[in-house]
Amino acid sequence: MADGSLAPAWDGVWDADGEGAFMIGGRCGACGGLALGLRPICPHCHKDGTLAAEAVGRRGRLYSATVIHQAPPGFEAPYRVGYVDIGEGLRVFAHIQAEAENGVPAPGPGDEVVLRIVAVKTDPDGTARSGPFYAAVEGTAK
């Protein structure tokens, strides 16, 4: 996991606790539906003020990925992004491990992945910004 002093690239998307990094989900107290992120209205039953924060996405399965070769300002190309199925019908778009790390190959579609928080972009003033990054779980990549 990244140094906790990195500023988040996007507020309210992820957090960390004693078990590690997680994406912030919202569970509806009225219908039990789960959404990625907290919002005023449940996207399932449309009730107002019923979502409570819940840790989601510590692990998942890579659905698909691609390599970005022309990056927007603040990002360094090439880098890999993709969709990760994180359970209960949720799919998140995030940065994905692109190359082997410590002998663990980059994940392919269907491989189990684990969430880490790393520097994903740099502001014009040089401030590194952190965000979600999914890496292969040792022993599961094909």
Q: Which pLDDT does position 66 carry in this prediction?
A: 97
Return the residue matching tokens 């979502």.
51
Q: Which pLDDT does position 140 carry in this prediction?
A: 66
Q: Which pLDDT does position 1 carry in this prediction?
A: 36
* C-alpha separations of 29 from 8, 10, 37, 136, 140 in Å: 28, 26, 15, 33, 35
Show the tokens assigned to 61. Answer: 């399965």
Question: Whole-prediction pTM value?
Answer: 0.89
3-state SS track over the chain: CCCCCCEECCCCCEEEECCEEEEEEEEECCCCCEEECCCCECCCCCCECCEEEEEECCEEEEEEEEEECCCCCCCCCCEEEEEEEEECCEEEEEEECCCCECCECCCCCCCEEEEEEEEEEECCCCCEEEEEEEEECCCCCC
Determine if the peptide bond prior to 78 is cis (ω within 30°). yes
Question: What tens-digit pLDDT sequence spans the chain (142 residues)?
Answer: 344 467 899 988 999 999 999 999 999 999 999 999 999 999 999 999 999 999 999 999 999 999 999 999 999 999 999 999 999 899 999 999 999 988 899 999 999 999 999 999 999 999 999 999 999 998 765 5
Domain ranges of the chain: 7-136
Show the tokens assigned to 89. Answer: 């019908």
Query: Residue 57: which of 21, 81, 104, 32 has the closest Cα?
Result: 21
